[in-house]
Structure 1
Protein backbone atom coordinates (compact mmCIF):
# COMPACT_ATOMS: atom_id res chain seq x y z
CA UNK A 1 0.00 0.00 0.00
CA UNK A 2 1.41 3.38 -1.02
CA UNK A 3 1.93 6.04 1.63
CA UNK A 4 -0.24 9.12 1.29
CA UNK A 5 1.41 12.53 1.61
CA UNK A 6 0.76 14.32 4.89
CA UNK A 7 -0.51 17.87 4.50
CA UNK A 8 -0.40 20.21 7.47
CA UNK A 9 -3.19 22.72 8.08
CA UNK A 10 -2.78 25.56 10.57
CA UNK A 11 -5.61 25.71 13.03
CA UNK A 12 -7.85 28.62 13.85
CA UNK A 13 -7.63 29.81 17.44
CA UNK A 14 -10.11 30.97 20.06
CA UNK A 15 -8.57 32.82 22.98
CA UNK A 16 -9.62 31.90 26.53
CA UNK A 17 -12.40 33.90 28.13
CA UNK A 18 -14.34 33.58 31.35
CA UNK A 19 -15.71 30.04 31.51
CA UNK A 20 -14.43 29.39 27.95
CA UNK A 21 -11.31 27.32 27.34
CA UNK A 22 -8.87 28.17 24.52
CA UNK A 23 -9.49 26.13 21.40
CA UNK A 24 -7.61 25.27 18.20
CA UNK A 25 -9.50 23.78 15.23
CA UNK A 26 -9.92 23.96 11.47
CA UNK A 27 -12.82 24.06 9.05
CA UNK A 28 -13.47 20.53 7.82
CA UNK A 29 -13.57 21.88 4.26
CA UNK A 30 -9.76 21.97 4.40
CA UNK A 31 -9.35 18.41 5.64
CA UNK A 32 -12.06 17.08 3.31
CA UNK A 33 -10.36 18.72 0.32
CA UNK A 34 -6.95 17.32 1.24
CA UNK A 35 -8.44 13.85 1.74
CA UNK A 36 -10.36 14.01 -1.55
CA UNK A 37 -7.14 14.97 -3.34
CA UNK A 38 -5.39 11.89 -1.93
CA UNK A 39 -3.61 13.21 1.15
CA UNK A 40 -3.76 12.89 4.92
CA UNK A 41 -4.57 16.15 6.76
CA UNK A 42 -2.73 17.04 9.96
CA UNK A 43 -3.74 19.89 12.28
CA UNK A 44 -0.86 22.15 13.27
CA UNK A 45 -1.52 23.59 16.74
CA UNK A 46 -0.14 27.06 17.63
CA UNK A 47 3.18 25.76 18.96
CA UNK A 48 5.15 28.24 21.06
CA UNK A 49 8.63 26.80 20.50
CA UNK A 50 10.40 27.16 17.13
CA UNK A 51 12.27 23.88 17.53
CA UNK A 52 8.97 22.07 18.08
CA UNK A 53 7.49 23.77 15.02
CA UNK A 54 10.48 22.84 12.86
CA UNK A 55 10.28 19.20 13.97
CA UNK A 56 6.55 19.18 13.20
CA UNK A 57 7.10 20.67 9.73
CA UNK A 58 9.74 18.05 8.99
CA UNK A 59 7.00 15.40 9.24
CA UNK A 60 4.92 17.10 6.54
CA UNK A 61 4.95 16.76 2.77
CA UNK A 62 2.95 19.92 2.11
CA UNK A 63 1.12 22.75 3.82
CA UNK A 64 -2.23 24.51 3.57
CA UNK A 65 -2.18 27.97 5.13
CA UNK A 66 -5.81 28.32 6.10
CA UNK A 67 -7.95 31.42 5.98
CA UNK A 68 -9.64 33.13 8.89
CA UNK A 69 -12.85 35.08 9.45
CA UNK A 70 -10.72 37.73 11.15
CA UNK A 71 -8.03 40.01 9.72
CA UNK A 72 -4.35 40.68 10.24
CA UNK A 73 -3.81 43.38 12.86
CA UNK A 74 -3.49 46.63 10.81
CA UNK A 75 -1.26 48.33 13.41
CA UNK A 76 1.38 45.67 12.73
CA UNK A 77 1.17 46.62 9.06
CA UNK A 78 1.67 50.31 9.80
CA UNK A 79 -2.00 51.07 9.07
CA UNK A 80 -4.69 52.82 11.07
CA UNK A 81 -7.46 50.30 11.85
CA UNK A 82 -10.53 50.58 9.63
CA UNK A 83 -13.97 50.13 11.26
CA UNK A 84 -14.56 47.06 9.06
CA UNK A 85 -11.37 45.37 10.27
CA UNK A 86 -11.63 42.71 12.98
CA UNK A 87 -8.19 41.63 14.12
CA UNK A 88 -7.55 37.94 14.67
CA UNK A 89 -6.34 36.71 18.08
CA UNK A 90 -2.72 37.70 18.67
CA UNK A 91 -1.65 34.11 19.29
CA UNK A 92 -3.04 33.06 15.92
CA UNK A 93 -1.32 35.87 14.01
CA UNK A 94 1.98 35.42 15.85
CA UNK A 95 1.99 31.71 15.12
CA UNK A 96 0.90 32.07 11.49
CA UNK A 97 3.72 34.54 10.83
CA UNK A 98 6.29 32.16 12.33
CA UNK A 99 4.79 29.23 10.44
CA UNK A 100 4.97 31.10 7.12
CA UNK A 101 8.57 32.17 7.69
CA UNK A 102 9.74 28.67 8.56
CA UNK A 103 7.76 26.94 5.80
CA UNK A 104 9.20 29.32 3.18
CA UNK A 105 12.73 28.79 4.48
CA UNK A 106 12.20 25.00 4.29
CA UNK A 107 10.64 25.30 0.82
CA UNK A 108 7.64 23.19 1.75
CA UNK A 109 4.95 23.02 -0.98
CA UNK A 110 2.35 25.59 0.08
CA UNK A 111 -1.24 26.41 -0.81
CA UNK A 112 -2.18 29.63 1.01
CA UNK A 113 -5.86 30.57 1.17
CA UNK A 114 -7.58 33.85 2.07
CA UNK A 115 -5.96 35.40 5.14
CA UNK A 116 -3.32 32.68 4.86
CA UNK A 117 -2.26 34.12 1.50
CA UNK A 118 -2.24 37.65 2.93
CA UNK A 119 -0.05 36.55 5.86
CA UNK A 120 2.36 34.72 3.55
CA UNK A 121 2.72 37.80 1.36
CA UNK A 122 3.33 40.10 4.33
CA UNK A 123 5.92 37.79 5.92
CA UNK A 124 7.81 37.63 2.62
CA UNK A 125 7.86 41.43 2.30
CA UNK A 126 4.64 42.30 0.46
CA UNK A 127 1.92 44.78 1.42
CA UNK A 128 -1.85 44.75 1.85
CA UNK A 129 -4.89 46.87 1.03
CA UNK A 130 -6.88 47.14 4.26
CA UNK A 131 -10.31 47.96 2.81
CA UNK A 132 -10.90 47.43 -0.91
CA UNK A 133 -14.02 49.61 -1.17
CA UNK A 134 -12.14 52.72 -0.06
CA UNK A 135 -8.82 52.11 -1.80
CA UNK A 136 -9.85 50.74 -5.21
CA UNK A 137 -11.91 53.04 -7.47
CA UNK A 138 -15.02 51.33 -8.84
CA UNK A 139 -14.22 48.17 -6.91
CA UNK A 140 -16.22 45.01 -7.40
CA UNK A 141 -18.30 43.63 -4.58
CA UNK A 142 -15.74 41.37 -2.87
CA UNK A 143 -17.64 40.67 0.35
CA UNK A 144 -21.25 40.46 1.45
CA UNK A 145 -22.05 39.66 5.11
CA UNK A 146 -25.44 38.27 4.09
CA UNK A 147 -24.86 36.71 0.67
CA UNK A 148 -22.41 33.88 1.44
CA UNK A 149 -22.53 32.57 -2.13
CA UNK A 150 -21.11 35.79 -3.63
CA UNK A 151 -18.95 35.11 -6.70
CA UNK A 152 -17.08 37.23 -9.22
CA UNK A 153 -14.87 36.81 -12.25
CA UNK A 154 -11.08 36.64 -12.12
CA UNK A 155 -8.70 36.61 -15.05
CA UNK A 156 -5.72 34.26 -14.86
CA UNK A 157 -2.34 35.44 -16.15
CA UNK A 158 -1.19 33.39 -19.17
CA UNK A 159 1.83 31.16 -18.66
CA UNK A 160 1.51 30.95 -14.88
CA UNK A 161 1.19 27.84 -12.76
CA UNK A 162 -2.40 28.85 -12.04
CA UNK A 163 -3.00 28.94 -15.78
CA UNK A 164 -1.86 25.31 -15.93
CA UNK A 165 -4.17 24.35 -13.04
CA UNK A 166 -7.36 26.16 -14.07
CA UNK A 167 -6.85 26.74 -17.77
CA UNK A 168 -6.58 30.08 -19.58
CA UNK A 169 -8.95 33.02 -19.44
CA UNK A 170 -11.67 33.90 -16.95
CA UNK A 171 -13.17 31.81 -14.16
CA UNK A 172 -15.67 32.61 -11.41
CA UNK A 173 -14.64 32.25 -7.77
CA UNK A 174 -16.32 32.72 -4.40
CA UNK A 175 -15.43 35.90 -2.55
CA UNK A 176 -15.62 36.98 1.10
CA UNK A 177 -12.79 39.45 1.73
CA UNK A 178 -12.33 43.18 2.27
CA UNK A 179 -8.53 43.10 2.54
CA UNK A 180 -6.30 42.18 -0.38
CA UNK A 181 -2.70 42.03 -1.55
CA UNK A 182 -1.45 45.47 -2.61
CA UNK A 183 2.08 44.56 -3.71
CA UNK A 184 3.34 41.01 -4.00
CA UNK A 185 6.55 40.09 -2.20
CA UNK A 186 9.72 39.61 -4.27
CA UNK A 187 9.58 35.77 -4.30
CA UNK A 188 6.15 35.92 -5.99
CA UNK A 189 4.40 37.02 -9.16
CA UNK A 190 0.74 37.90 -9.72
CA UNK A 191 -1.17 35.02 -11.31
CA UNK A 192 -4.77 36.32 -11.26
CA UNK A 193 -6.68 39.58 -10.88
CA UNK A 194 -10.31 40.63 -10.61
CA UNK A 195 -11.66 43.00 -13.30
CA UNK A 196 -11.19 45.93 -10.89
CA UNK A 197 -7.47 45.18 -10.67
CA UNK A 198 -7.49 43.55 -7.22
CA UNK A 199 -4.88 40.79 -6.95
CA UNK A 200 -6.68 37.49 -6.45
CA UNK A 201 -3.76 35.06 -6.67
CA UNK A 202 0.03 34.95 -6.66
CA UNK A 203 2.63 32.21 -6.97
CA UNK A 204 6.34 31.55 -6.56
CA UNK A 205 8.51 32.80 -9.41
CA UNK A 206 10.73 29.73 -8.94
CA UNK A 207 9.25 26.88 -10.99
CA UNK A 208 10.89 24.31 -8.68
CA UNK A 209 8.84 25.38 -5.66
CA UNK A 210 5.06 24.99 -5.48
CA UNK A 211 3.80 27.99 -3.56
CA UNK A 212 0.43 29.46 -4.54
CA UNK A 213 -1.70 32.00 -2.70
CA UNK A 214 -5.37 32.53 -3.59
CA UNK A 215 -7.83 35.03 -2.17
CA UNK A 216 -10.88 32.84 -2.76
CA UNK A 217 -11.72 29.67 -0.82
CA UNK A 218 -11.33 26.47 -2.89
CA UNK A 219 -12.15 24.40 0.21
CA UNK A 220 -15.54 26.03 0.72
CA UNK A 221 -18.85 24.41 -0.19
CA UNK A 222 -19.40 27.35 -2.56
CA UNK A 223 -16.25 26.46 -4.53
CA UNK A 224 -16.45 25.16 -8.08
CA UNK A 225 -15.52 21.67 -9.26
CA UNK A 226 -12.39 23.19 -10.82
CA UNK A 227 -11.11 24.18 -7.39
CA UNK A 228 -10.31 20.59 -6.44
CA UNK A 229 -7.55 20.71 -9.04
CA UNK A 230 -5.53 23.15 -6.95
CA UNK A 231 -5.50 20.69 -4.04
CA UNK A 232 -4.60 17.86 -6.41
CA UNK A 233 -1.69 19.91 -7.75
CA UNK A 234 -0.50 20.60 -4.20
CA UNK A 235 -0.55 16.86 -3.54
CA UNK A 236 1.43 16.17 -6.71
CA UNK A 237 4.03 18.76 -5.71
CA UNK A 238 4.28 17.30 -2.20
CA UNK A 239 5.39 13.98 -3.68
CA UNK A 240 8.21 15.43 -5.78
CA UNK A 241 11.88 15.31 -4.67
CA UNK A 242 12.72 18.06 -2.23
CA UNK A 243 14.17 21.17 -3.93
CA UNK A 244 17.51 22.60 -2.93
CA UNK A 245 16.99 25.01 -0.05
CA UNK A 246 18.23 28.48 -0.99
CA UNK A 247 18.36 31.59 1.19
CA UNK A 248 15.30 33.78 0.63
CA UNK A 249 14.99 37.34 1.98
CA UNK A 250 12.03 37.59 4.31
CA UNK A 251 10.49 40.46 6.17
CA UNK A 252 11.07 40.20 9.88
CA UNK A 253 7.82 39.38 11.70
CA UNK A 254 6.46 42.38 13.56
Structure 2
Protein backbone atom coordinates (compact mmCIF):
# COMPACT_ATOMS: atom_id res chain seq x y z
CA UNK A 1 0.00 0.00 0.00
CA UNK A 2 1.29 3.44 -0.86
CA UNK A 3 1.74 5.58 2.25
CA UNK A 4 1.08 9.29 2.69
CA UNK A 5 3.27 11.97 4.33
CA UNK A 6 1.50 13.57 7.31
CA UNK A 7 2.79 16.97 8.37
CA UNK A 8 3.24 17.57 12.10
CA UNK A 9 0.73 20.43 12.11
CA UNK A 10 -2.02 18.03 11.05
CA UNK A 11 -1.58 15.95 14.22
CA UNK A 12 -2.67 17.37 17.57
CA UNK A 13 0.21 17.62 20.02
CA UNK A 14 2.86 16.46 17.55
CA UNK A 15 6.04 18.23 16.48
CA UNK A 16 7.19 15.47 14.12
CA UNK A 17 6.26 14.54 10.57
CA UNK A 18 4.88 11.05 9.90
CA UNK A 19 4.01 8.69 7.09
CA UNK A 20 0.75 6.81 7.47
CA UNK A 21 -2.56 5.50 6.18
CA UNK A 22 -6.08 5.16 7.60
CA UNK A 23 -6.36 1.95 9.62
CA UNK A 24 -9.33 0.83 7.50
CA UNK A 25 -7.00 -0.08 4.64
CA UNK A 26 -5.14 -2.53 6.88
CA UNK A 27 -8.33 -3.86 8.46
CA UNK A 28 -10.11 -4.58 5.19
CA UNK A 29 -7.12 -6.25 3.58
CA UNK A 30 -6.86 -8.41 6.69
CA UNK A 31 -10.57 -9.24 6.45
CA UNK A 32 -9.90 -10.42 2.90
CA UNK A 33 -7.05 -12.63 4.07
CA UNK A 34 -4.14 -10.36 3.12
CA UNK A 35 -1.43 -8.62 5.13
CA UNK A 36 -1.08 -4.95 4.22
CA UNK A 37 2.40 -3.38 4.20
CA UNK A 38 2.76 0.38 3.83
CA UNK A 39 5.46 1.77 1.53
CA UNK A 40 6.92 5.19 2.26
CA UNK A 41 7.12 7.53 -0.77
CA UNK A 42 10.59 8.02 -2.26
CA UNK A 43 12.33 8.19 -5.60
CA UNK A 44 12.23 4.80 -7.34
CA UNK A 45 14.13 4.12 -10.56
CA UNK A 46 12.51 1.41 -12.71
CA UNK A 47 14.93 -1.33 -11.66
CA UNK A 48 14.41 -0.56 -7.97
CA UNK A 49 10.63 -0.37 -8.40
CA UNK A 50 10.72 -3.84 -9.97
CA UNK A 51 12.71 -5.14 -7.00
CA UNK A 52 10.25 -3.63 -4.52
CA UNK A 53 7.16 -4.97 -6.28
CA UNK A 54 8.77 -8.40 -6.64
CA UNK A 55 8.56 -8.79 -2.85
CA UNK A 56 4.76 -8.51 -2.78
CA UNK A 57 1.73 -10.27 -4.23
CA UNK A 58 -0.33 -7.13 -4.94
CA UNK A 59 -0.32 -3.34 -5.00
CA UNK A 60 -2.90 -0.95 -3.51
CA UNK A 61 -2.75 2.64 -4.75
CA UNK A 62 -4.44 4.57 -1.95
CA UNK A 63 -6.42 7.81 -1.70
CA UNK A 64 -4.82 11.14 -0.93
CA UNK A 65 -4.11 14.61 -2.26
CA UNK A 66 -4.55 15.67 -5.86
CA UNK A 67 -2.40 14.46 -8.75
CA UNK A 68 -0.07 17.17 -10.08
CA UNK A 69 -1.91 18.78 -13.04
CA UNK A 70 1.41 19.24 -14.83
CA UNK A 71 1.38 15.48 -15.46
CA UNK A 72 -1.63 15.89 -17.72
CA UNK A 73 -0.59 19.19 -19.27
CA UNK A 74 -2.57 21.67 -17.19
CA UNK A 75 -1.93 24.52 -14.78
CA UNK A 76 -3.34 24.01 -11.29
CA UNK A 77 -6.61 25.82 -10.55
CA UNK A 78 -6.95 27.49 -7.12
CA UNK A 79 -9.00 24.59 -5.70
CA UNK A 80 -6.35 21.98 -6.52
CA UNK A 81 -4.32 21.19 -3.43
CA UNK A 82 -1.51 19.13 -1.97
CA UNK A 83 -0.09 17.88 -5.25
CA UNK A 84 3.42 16.49 -5.04
CA UNK A 85 5.17 15.33 -8.20
CA UNK A 86 7.52 13.15 -6.16
CA UNK A 87 4.65 11.09 -4.77
CA UNK A 88 3.08 10.86 -8.23
CA UNK A 89 6.32 9.52 -9.71
CA UNK A 90 6.74 7.07 -6.81
CA UNK A 91 3.29 5.60 -7.38
CA UNK A 92 3.67 5.61 -11.15
CA UNK A 93 6.93 3.65 -10.84
CA UNK A 94 5.25 1.07 -8.61
CA UNK A 95 2.24 0.79 -10.90
CA UNK A 96 4.33 0.32 -14.03
CA UNK A 97 6.43 -2.29 -12.23
CA UNK A 98 3.28 -4.10 -11.12
CA UNK A 99 2.00 -4.17 -14.71
CA UNK A 100 5.33 -5.46 -16.02
CA UNK A 101 5.23 -8.28 -13.48
CA UNK A 102 1.51 -9.06 -13.72
CA UNK A 103 0.93 -8.10 -10.08
CA UNK A 104 -2.74 -7.44 -9.16
CA UNK A 105 -3.55 -3.75 -8.60
CA UNK A 106 -6.39 -2.19 -6.63
CA UNK A 107 -6.52 1.60 -7.13
CA UNK A 108 -8.73 3.69 -4.85
CA UNK A 109 -9.92 7.30 -5.36
CA UNK A 110 -6.68 9.21 -6.11
CA UNK A 111 -5.35 5.85 -7.30
CA UNK A 112 -7.97 5.74 -10.08
CA UNK A 113 -7.13 9.30 -11.09
CA UNK A 114 -3.41 8.52 -11.15
CA UNK A 115 -4.01 5.48 -13.38
CA UNK A 116 -5.94 7.57 -15.86
CA UNK A 117 -3.16 10.16 -15.96
CA UNK A 118 -0.39 7.56 -16.23
CA UNK A 119 -2.20 6.02 -19.20
CA UNK A 120 -2.53 9.42 -20.89
CA UNK A 121 -5.93 10.65 -19.72
CA UNK A 122 -6.86 13.92 -18.02
CA UNK A 123 -8.80 15.09 -14.96
CA UNK A 124 -11.40 17.73 -14.18
CA UNK A 125 -9.66 19.63 -11.41
CA UNK A 126 -12.73 20.79 -9.49
CA UNK A 127 -16.18 19.33 -10.10
CA UNK A 128 -17.93 20.86 -7.08
CA UNK A 129 -20.83 23.05 -8.17
CA UNK A 130 -20.83 21.95 -11.81
CA UNK A 131 -24.38 21.89 -13.25
CA UNK A 132 -25.90 18.45 -12.91
CA UNK A 133 -23.02 17.10 -10.84
CA UNK A 134 -23.79 15.36 -7.55
CA UNK A 135 -21.85 16.22 -4.41
CA UNK A 136 -19.11 13.60 -4.32
CA UNK A 137 -17.98 14.30 -0.79
CA UNK A 138 -15.46 16.70 0.70
CA UNK A 139 -11.82 15.54 0.78
CA UNK A 140 -9.42 15.91 3.72
CA UNK A 141 -11.83 14.72 6.40
CA UNK A 142 -14.69 17.01 5.41
CA UNK A 143 -17.25 14.22 5.14
CA UNK A 144 -18.22 11.70 2.49
CA UNK A 145 -21.23 11.23 0.23
CA UNK A 146 -22.87 7.91 -0.56
CA UNK A 147 -22.94 7.65 -4.34
CA UNK A 148 -24.55 4.86 -6.33
CA UNK A 149 -22.68 3.37 -9.27
CA UNK A 150 -23.83 1.29 -12.21
CA UNK A 151 -21.18 -1.33 -12.96
CA UNK A 152 -20.49 -2.83 -16.37
CA UNK A 153 -21.63 -6.49 -16.51
CA UNK A 154 -18.75 -8.86 -17.18
CA UNK A 155 -16.10 -6.47 -15.86
CA UNK A 156 -13.61 -7.52 -13.19
CA UNK A 157 -15.25 -4.98 -10.89
CA UNK A 158 -18.69 -6.53 -11.34
CA UNK A 159 -17.21 -9.97 -10.77
CA UNK A 160 -15.47 -8.78 -7.60
CA UNK A 161 -18.53 -7.02 -6.17
CA UNK A 162 -20.89 -9.80 -7.18
CA UNK A 163 -23.37 -7.34 -8.70
CA UNK A 164 -23.79 -4.53 -11.20
CA UNK A 165 -25.05 -1.90 -8.75
CA UNK A 166 -23.17 -0.62 -5.70
CA UNK A 167 -23.16 2.31 -3.28
CA UNK A 168 -19.79 3.67 -2.21
CA UNK A 169 -18.56 6.52 -0.03
CA UNK A 170 -16.91 9.29 -2.05
CA UNK A 171 -14.46 11.99 -0.88
CA UNK A 172 -13.30 13.65 -4.09
CA UNK A 173 -13.53 17.09 -5.68
CA UNK A 174 -11.81 15.96 -8.89
CA UNK A 175 -12.84 13.37 -11.46
CA UNK A 176 -11.80 11.75 -14.72
CA UNK A 177 -12.25 14.06 -17.71
CA UNK A 178 -10.80 12.39 -20.81
CA UNK A 179 -10.46 8.65 -20.34
CA UNK A 180 -7.13 7.21 -21.46
CA UNK A 181 -7.34 5.26 -24.71
CA UNK A 182 -6.17 1.99 -23.17
CA UNK A 183 -8.56 2.16 -20.20
CA UNK A 184 -12.29 1.48 -20.22
CA UNK A 185 -15.02 2.84 -17.98
CA UNK A 186 -16.62 0.03 -15.95
CA UNK A 187 -18.71 2.10 -13.51
CA UNK A 188 -20.48 5.45 -13.53
CA UNK A 189 -22.46 7.52 -11.02
CA UNK A 190 -25.97 8.71 -11.96
CA UNK A 191 -24.49 12.09 -12.98
CA UNK A 192 -22.09 10.40 -15.40
CA UNK A 193 -18.98 10.70 -13.21
CA UNK A 194 -16.51 7.89 -13.88
CA UNK A 195 -16.48 5.61 -10.83
CA UNK A 196 -14.56 2.61 -12.17
CA UNK A 197 -11.76 1.96 -14.67
CA UNK A 198 -9.97 -1.13 -15.96
CA UNK A 199 -7.33 -1.69 -18.66
CA UNK A 200 -8.76 -2.46 -22.07
CA UNK A 201 -6.53 -5.53 -22.48
CA UNK A 202 -7.99 -7.15 -19.34
CA UNK A 203 -5.21 -9.73 -19.01
CA UNK A 204 -4.15 -8.80 -15.46
CA UNK A 205 -6.27 -8.15 -12.35
CA UNK A 206 -6.35 -4.34 -12.30
CA UNK A 207 -9.39 -2.58 -10.84
CA UNK A 208 -9.73 1.13 -10.07
CA UNK A 209 -12.64 2.70 -8.18
CA UNK A 210 -13.30 6.39 -7.51
CA UNK A 211 -15.02 5.76 -4.18
CA UNK A 212 -13.49 4.56 -0.88
CA UNK A 213 -14.57 0.93 -0.32
CA UNK A 214 -12.60 0.80 2.95
CA UNK A 215 -14.92 3.44 4.45
CA UNK A 216 -18.01 1.23 4.42
CA UNK A 217 -16.79 -2.33 3.92
CA UNK A 218 -17.04 -3.19 7.61
CA UNK A 219 -20.83 -2.85 7.32
CA UNK A 220 -21.31 -3.44 3.57
CA UNK A 221 -20.49 -6.95 2.30
CA UNK A 222 -20.48 -5.69 -1.29
CA UNK A 223 -17.56 -3.36 -0.56
CA UNK A 224 -15.75 -5.99 1.49
CA UNK A 225 -16.07 -8.36 -1.45
CA UNK A 226 -13.79 -6.07 -3.46
CA UNK A 227 -10.95 -6.52 -0.96
CA UNK A 228 -11.64 -10.26 -0.79
CA UNK A 229 -11.45 -10.52 -4.59
CA UNK A 230 -8.21 -8.54 -4.64
CA UNK A 231 -6.69 -10.78 -1.96
CA UNK A 232 -7.79 -13.86 -3.90
CA UNK A 233 -6.19 -12.54 -7.08
CA UNK A 234 -2.97 -12.01 -5.12
CA UNK A 235 -3.09 -15.58 -3.78
CA UNK A 236 -3.73 -17.01 -7.22
CA UNK A 237 -0.79 -15.18 -8.73
CA UNK A 238 1.45 -16.22 -5.83
CA UNK A 239 0.34 -19.82 -6.28
CA UNK A 240 1.13 -19.74 -9.99
CA UNK A 241 4.62 -18.39 -9.29
CA UNK A 242 5.27 -20.98 -6.60
CA UNK A 243 3.93 -23.74 -8.84
Q: TM-score, normalized by length of structure 2?
A: 0.84
In the alignment, is the contact (CA less than 8 A) between 2:162 and 2:222 conserved in 1?
A: no
Q: Distance in 1 between matches of 2:221 and 2:187?
A: 18
Q: Which runs of 5+ in 1 are unaligned?
A: 1-8, 245-254
Alpha-carbon distance change, 49 to 177 in structure 1, aligned in 2, over 3 angstroms: closer
The aligned residue for residue 81 of structure 1 is 76
Residues 1:147 and 1:73: Cα distance change in structure 2 (over 3 Å): closer
Say if 1:82 and 1:108 are closer, same or farther in 2 by CA, change over 3 A.
same
- Equivalence for 2:53: 57
- Please state which structure has a larger fraction of its residues in strand: 1
1:142-157 → structure 2 map (5 Å cutoff): 142-144=136-138, 148-157=143-152
Q: Could you tell me how far 1:105 is from its partner in structure 2? A: 2.4
What is the CA–CA distance in structure 2 between the aligned matches of 1:99 and 1:21, rounded to whole Å? 27
- 1:11 is aligned to 3
Mean Cα displacement is larger for which, 84-93 or 54-63?
84-93
Confirm or deny: 8 A CA contact 1:15 1:89 kept in the other structure.
Answer: no
1:226 equivalent among 219, 222, 226 = 222
**Alpha-carbon spacing, 1:182–1:94, altered in 2? closer, same or farther (3 Å):** same
User: Shift in Å at residue 100 of structure 1?
Assistant: 2.1
The alignment's C-alpha RMSD in Å is: 2.6
Q: Return the offset for 1:196.
A: 1.0
Structure-2 residue corresponding to 1:45: 40
Shift of 1:27: 1.6
Q: Please, which runs of 5 or more residues in structure 2 have no aligned partner?
A: none
Q: Is the 8 A contact 1:111 1:212 kept in 2?
A: yes
Alignment pair present for 1:163 and 2:158: yes
Task: Decide which structure has greater helix share.
Answer: 2
Match of residue 89, structure 2, among 91, 94, 99: 94
Assess, with a 3 A threshold, how the Cα gap between structure 1 residues 138 and 20 changes in structure 2: closer, same or farther: same
Deviation string, structure 1 residues 103-128 (Cα, Å, up to 9, x no partner): 22222100000101111221122221
Alignment of 1:208-247 (within 5 A): 208-221=203-216, 224-241=220-237
| 4+ residue segments displaced more than 6 Å | none
Secondary structure at the aligned position of 1:44 is classed as coil
